[in-house]
Amino acid sequence: METLSFGDLRTVITALAAGAVVFGMIAGGTDWSSRVMLTLAAAEPRRFRLFATRALLTAGLSMASTAAAGPLLVPLLLLAALTRGSTAGLDAVYWAALTSMYLRGVFLVGLLCLLGYSLAMFTRKATAALAIGFLYLASADQIFTGRGPRGAEYDMNGLVFAVLNEKPVVPMAESDCIAGPGCEAVHVDLTAADGLVGVLIYLVPVLLAVLWRFTRTDIT
């Protein structure tokens, strides 16, 4: 059951992470299109605090949705193992690794939602944020993957796979990873911590840009 459960959990979290980016963009764009941000700015003149509150609220909602997915998925995996497979190997090490992946996934979803929200807050339109986000990730993909396996570590696909990597329990030979930047990241031993740092490398420049614009320019 190990490979199946890790792979299924990774698939669910990856889908939620992609959805979190879009959710963050929509939430940020709606703050502007509905003029809610103007109303809030009038009530809260400290713009850094206003941005931080809205951003953390949006990211928190995404993280809560992801956190709720774990307790729903695990019983289904156990049922599948009991009816179609085996529960052999479900020891303390297995559960610790699965829980660790689950918690890393919740944090990853929050970071990516924050990336989407920040892009929308910078552009002030969800559609523009989607276009710029696509160009941003595509440009980074071209830069990093063109530098071989070590560079491919920092492709976003590779970073997400590294964060959700089950390698501590499931050997690479038994993993369902076949090809792509994610597998290259595994082959060069990119750790989950490295993956999270890589995601922050994408996020921090966007955060700095949006904070500059939001705190230093007119928002009317």
pLDDT digits (tens, 9 = 90+) for 194-204: 889 989 999 99
Residue 68 in tokens? 């709720």
- CA trace torsion 141, 65, 53, 99 (10° rounding): -80
> Looking at residue 87, what is its pLDDT?
62
CB burial of 183-196 (b: ≥16 within 10 Å; e: otherwise) equals: bbbbeeebebebbb
Range list of H helices, the chain:
2-33, 36-43, 47-84, 92-123, 126-145, 148-152, 156-163, 181-187, 192-216
CA atoms within a 13 Å half-sphere pointing along the CA-CB vector of 51? 22
pTM: 0.82
> Looking at residue 89, what is its pLDDT?
62
Residue 9 in tokens? 């959990």
Asked if residue 210 has pLDDT above 50, the reply is yes
pLDDT more than 70, % of the chain: 78
Give dist(CA 85, CA 81) in Å, integer.
4
pLDDT bucket at 219, cuts 50 / 70 / 90: confident
CA distances from 220 to 28, 33, 71, 109 (A): 16, 12, 44, 31
Taking a C-beta distance cutoff of 8 angstroms, is the pair 62, 109 a contact? yes
> Looking at residue 147, what is its pLDDT?
62
The mean pLDDT of 169-184, rounded to a whole number, is 48
- Those residues whose C-beta lies under 8 Å from the C-beta of residue 151, and which sit 6 or more positions away, are 143, 144, 145
